[in-house]
Structure 1
Amino acid sequence: MQVETITLQIPKTLYQRLVNTANATQRPIEEVILHALQVGSPPQWDDVPEEFQADLAALDKLDDYTLWQIVNSRKSAAEMQRYNTLLEANSSGTLTQAERLELMALRQEADLFVLRKAQAAVLLRWRGHRVPTP
């Protein structure tokens, strides 16, 4: 693991709280500070499937307006209808090979769509916005 060293001035009251926590938990102050930074850092995306990580990582760089657009985005009725039609055909075992491939692509697209919306919402919350839960 690569590390960087920084010098940071923090208010004495905050420092004392960190020291108190370190003493109470019998952990080094550095470990307590690193934990506080990790908990207070932007949400991570590395626990999602690797194929989606680059898309989610890119959200970190977006402005709030763009993140709100993602949070409020919806699939069209036609897209949802096609997906449901393919799901029903899959359940009944009547999918063609071409439809099976289409369904797989739509499923992956839907997974990314939902993950992007969720990650955008979490980022907005972390940035201090009130994001209603669905």
Structure 2
Amino acid sequence: MTLHTVNVPENLYRRLQQQASIERRSVDDLVQQTLSRQLPPAVLVEDDLPPSLRAEMLAMEHLSDAALWSLARSALSPEQLAEMERLRQLAEKRSLTPDERIRQQDLLREYDETILRRAHAAMLLMSRGYDLSDPKLLQQT
């Protein structure tokens, strides 16, 4: 672990010492825990995502709350969902043609990416202090 020095006013350091003493632990532990609780979560963007999606998710951190709400409520279009269902039903009856299989895979990829965007936007909104415990908040409007 790399160590860094942070300058804090004397009165703040005394408060940290007092709190650490009350909790029977070191000032270092108290500061580390306090900072980790107060800072927004690190952007958890997997390295194995396609580069364009990874860049998009990293950039989401800089979006406005309104833009994040929009992403958190996004979904595939009704037409895309209907096409996914049609292809699913076809696949139950017969083997899909190569073009149908490619289209199904494309739609599933779009669906997965939409879910990732929604989840990441929701995580960022929570880190900004929004309470998302009511599922209705994330329903499309």
Do these two structures clear the TM 0.5 threshold for a shared fold by scoring above it? yes
The change in CA–CA distance for 1:12 and 1:42 in structure 2 (over 3 A counts) is: same
118-127 or 84-93, larger mean C-alpha shift = 84-93
Cα root mean square deviation, aligned = 3.3
- CA distance in structure 1 between the partners assigned to 2:67 and 2:16 by the alignment: 36
Query: Unaligned stretches of 5+ in structure 2?
Result: 137-141
Rounded Cα–Cα distance in structure 2 between residues aligned with 1:88 and 1:17: 66
Instruction: State the partner residue of 2:40.
Output: 42
- More displaced, 69-78 or 108-117? 69-78
The DSSP-based 3-state class of the residue aligned with 1:88 is helix
> Would the aligned equivalents of 1:71 and 1:121 in 2 still touch at CA under 8 Å?
yes
The total of aligned residue pairs comes to 131
Larger radius of gyration: 2
* Structure 1: gaps spanning 5 or more residues: none
Tell me, yes or no, if structure 1 residue 133 matches structure 2 residue 130.
Answer: no
Shift of 1:66: 0.5
Q: Give the Cα–Cα distance (whole angstroms) in 2 for the partners of residues 18 and 47 of structure 1.
A: 37
Q: How does 1:86-97 map to 2 (within 5 A)?
A: 86-97=87-98
Secondary structure in 1 aligned to 2:135?
coil
**Partner secondary structure for residue 121 of structure 2:** helix
**Large movers: runs of 4+ above 4 Å:** 1-6, 20-23
**For each residue in 1:14-69, what CA deviation from the matched residue of structure 2 results, as whole angstroms up to 9, or x when unmatched?**
62377359954xx781x653454344433332347422432221110101010111
| Distance in structure 1 (CA, Å) of the matches to 2:84 and 2:123 | 27
SS, match of residue 76 in structure 2: coil
Q: Does residue 1:69 correspond to 2:70, yes or no?
A: yes
- Aligned sequence identity (%): 24
In 1, are the aligned partners of 2:72 and 2:122 still within 8 Å (CA)? yes
**Residue type matched to 1:45 in 2?**
L
